[in-house]
A and B are shown apart, each in its own frame.
Chain A
């Protein structure tokens, strides 16, 4: 049973560029959440997707956008990159099915973005 997979694992961009990060959730999971984790900090909630719609959003600017596909996979897009966007971007999946309901998050290994 594959867990949460993310790609790419590492990438380097320059200021002003755009980036797309990808996530495939754990089998059987229908909800994807994205987090930004700066070094030495806890994950910061960006947004959550369910049924192909953004259901919840954290305190991030509109430069951060996302998408969920019918197969539940998801993308995170960041436009006009800033130096401060350098971080580990974590995708986490969960299930709304009552049978598995602690609703815990299962995390991927993350995409480490460096903006120069």
Chain B
């Protein structure tokens, strides 16, 4: 079976740092993605990890531990525009099937 878990909701303060965790149990693994989705809009790609470790891209970083089935997305210097849902997704085979978690709705307060 396929299972991707992430918290339903989180709240953080403008200017602060927040970490969104994701755990997965899938029948295969060929990379992990994080997507951002603003209300009423399409998901947009944030990051991709296929090897263990940290990938940094500006204010956003993503970490992967394949042995633990665990990833996190770290958002620094939070801005109000970061209020959105963050989707953890796993490519379960080399044939590109990508499955998503239910998403974490992040609210930023002033």
Contact = CB atoms under 8 A, between A and B. Distances in A.
Interface of B: 4, 31, 33, 41-45, 48, 87, 89, 91, 93, 95-103, 105
Contact of B43 (A31, A44, A107): A107
A106 B96 CA distance: 13
Interface of A: 4, 31, 33, 35, 40-45, 48, 50, 55-56, 58, 90, 94, 96, 102-110
A42 B102 contact: yes
A115 B103 CA distance: 24
B100 A42 contact: yes
27 contacts: A4-B42, A31-B96, A33-B96, A40-B102, A41-B102, A42-B4, A42-B89, A42-B101, A43-B87, A43-B100, A44-B100, A45-B97, A45-B98, A50-B96, A56-B93, A56-B95, A56-B96, A90-B42, A94-B96, A96-B96, A102-B48, A103-B31, A103-B96, A103-B98, A104-B45, A105-B43, A110-B42
A31 B4 CA distance: 24
Contacts of B101: 42
B103 A108 contact: no
Nearest to A41: B102
A105 B97 contact: no
B21 to A, nearest CB: 15
Q: Which 10 A-B pairs have the closest CB atoms?
A: A42-B100, A107-B42, A56-B97, A102-B48, A42-B102, A42-B103, A104-B45, A43-B100, A109-B42, A107-B43
A95 to B, nearest CB: 10
Given A103-B31, A104-B45, A41 B96 contact: no
Contacts of B91: 103
B48 A45 contact: no
B31 A105 contact: no
A42 B3 CA distance: 12
B96 A43 contact: no
B98 A105 contact: yes
A31 B97 CA distance: 11
Among A44, A58, A104, A109, find the residue whose CB has the most chain B CB atoms closer than 10 A.
A104
